[in-house]
Amino acid sequence: MMKREVMEDSITMNGGDGPNSYTQNSKFQRAASDQVKVLLSNTIQEKLTIENTSNATNQQVFKIVDLGCSVGPNTFACVQTVVEAVEHTFKTLGLESELPEFQVFFNDNVNNDFNTLFKALPLDRQYMAAGVPGSFHGQLFPKDSLNFMHSAFALHWLTKVPEEVTKENSPAWNKGRITYVGSSHEVLQAYTEQFLKDIKAFFSARAVELINHGLLAILMPCRPEGTLPSDSIVMHILEVLAFALTDMAKEGLISEALVDSINLPIFIPSATEVKKVISNIENLTIERSEKIYYLPKKLSTPEDVRFCTVHVRAVTEGILCKHFGPELIDEIFERYSKKIEEFSKTLDYAHVEKMENLFLLVKRNAI
C-alpha cells in the first residue's frame, strides 16, 4: 500500500507528557479557553433548542466533536463545559428525564499522540469517547450527524505552506524567513489566499456534518482590525526562529538551502476575514461573535523567556524535526531562547503588544 505523505500529517503538537510536551506547555491556550468558558456555556444555553438535539438517526445520543483537540488536557475542560451546558439546558426546559447520552469525538491530524490523549481521559466523564484521525479541512463525519462542534486554537494552522513561497524562481519566494513577517507583499498574499481557501473548506465540511440547527463554537487567535498581518506578536515570536536558524547556517551547522526552504503553515487573520468566509457559506449563520482582547505577559524575566521558548518548541518541534532532523532540535531551541531574550528588548517587540482572540458561535440552518 502507498504511504501517504502530506504536510498536514506533521502538523501536530509534541506528544507524551515530558518537559517539552504540549500537555505540559499549553497553559497559554488553557488561559484563553478559561477566559471564554462562561461565554461558551451561556451561548450554548441561549442558542441550543431541543430541536437541536434531535438527530435523524438516533434521538437519544448527543454527538460532540472537538476539532484539533491535540493531546490534552485543554480539550477535556472544553468538552466538559459543553456537556454541562447542554445538560443544564435540558434541565432548564424541564426535560431532565430526557437527558441524552453523550458521545464525544476527539479529532486531530493522524500523527497526533492519541495514546497520550486516551490515557488522560477523565475517569469520571459522563460521555463515551472516540478518536477521529484526519484533517478537519475535509469532511470527517457523515452528513447531518453532529449536534455540537468545537474547535480552539487550531484554525490558524494551514493545510500547507503555500507552494509559491518555497520556490526559488517565484516572486513569492520567502528566502531566509519562516513566516510572512517582514516578507514581500507576494508572500503575504500567498499566505492570505491559502488561509481563505483552507477555512472555506473547514466551514463547508461543518455545514455538511452538522444536523439542522447544530452549533459550532470556534475560538481562535486573530489580529486586531486595521492592523497588518505582519504586526501580530504571535508571528513575530515565531519569526525569531529564523534568526537562530540563519546563524546556524552561517556557522555551517545546517545548509542555507534547508533554512530557505522551511516556512511555517500558520496565518493569523482578522475577525472580518473569517466572518466573511462564513457568511458566504450556504446554511451557516453566525449567532454570536465576540472579540477578547488581552495584553500578553511581557517577556521580562528569564522564566518568561523559558516559558515562551518551551511553548514554541511544543508547537513547532514536529515540523522542525521533519525538516532538519531530530539531532539539531536542542541546539535550535537553545539559540532560540537567546534570540527571544534579545527580541524582547527591541522596538519591534515593544510595538506589537495587543492580542485578540475571536469567539464565534455558528449555526447550521435547517434545510
Ligand X SMILES: C[S@@+](CC[C@H](N)C(=O)[O-])C[C@H]1O[C@@H](n2cnc3c(N)ncnc32)[C@H](O)[C@@H]1O
Site string for ligand X, 193-232 (x = CB under 6 A): ----------------------------------------
Choose, by CB under 6 A, the member of 68, 100, 162, 221 that binds ligand X. 68
Given the rule CB under 6 A, which of 55-63, 103-111, 172-180, 355-363 is the region that contacts ligand X? 103-111
Q: How far is the CB of 154 from ligand X (least distance, A)?
A: 3
CB hemisphere CA count around 28 (13 angstroms): 22
Does the footprint of ligand X cover residue 317 (CB under 6 A)?
no
Cβ-based nearer residue to ligand X, 82 or 254: 82
Q: How far is the CB of 149 from ligand X (least distance, A)?
A: 12
Per this entry, what is the length of the chain?
367
The alpha carbon torsion through 172, 177, 179, 184 (nearest 10 deg) reads -40
Contacts of 274 (CB under 8 A, 6+ apart): 155, 199, 218, 220, 222, 358, 360
Site string for ligand X, 19-38 (x = CB under 6 A): -------x--x---x-----
Q: Which cell is 49 given?
A: 433548542
Say if CB 358 and CB 314 are below 8 A apart.
Answer: no
Cβ-based nearer residue to ligand X, 21 or 74: 74
Q: How far is the CB of 204 from ligand X (least distance, A)?
A: 14
**H or E segment and range at residue 195:** helix 185-209
The number of helices, as runs of H, and strands, as runs of E, in the chain is: 13, 7
Given the rule CB under 6 A, which of 64-72, 228-236, 294-302, 344-352 is the region that contacts ligand X? 64-72
Cβ-based nearer residue to ligand X, 74 or 116: 74
Phi first, then psi, for residue 131 (nearest 5°) are -100, 140
Given the rule CB under 6 A, which of 95-103, 106-114, 238-246, 287-295 is the region that contacts ligand X? 106-114
Distance CA 23, CA 234 (A): 20
Cβ-based nearer residue to ligand X, 23 or 43: 23
Distance CA 55, CA 150 (A): 18
* Residue of this chain nearest to ligand X (CB atom): 68
Site string for ligand X, 277-316 (x = CB under 6 A): --------------------------------------x-
Contacts of 196 (CB under 8 A, 6+ apart): 273, 277
Q: Which of 139, 122, 86, 111 is nearest to 10 (CA)?
A: 111
Choose, by CB under 6 A, the member of 14, 53, 109, 357 that binds ligand X. 109
Distance CA 145, CA 55 (A): 7
- The contact set with ligand X (CB under 6 A) reads 8, 11-13, 26, 29, 33, 68-70, 74-75, 107-109, 112, 135-137, 152-154, 157, 315
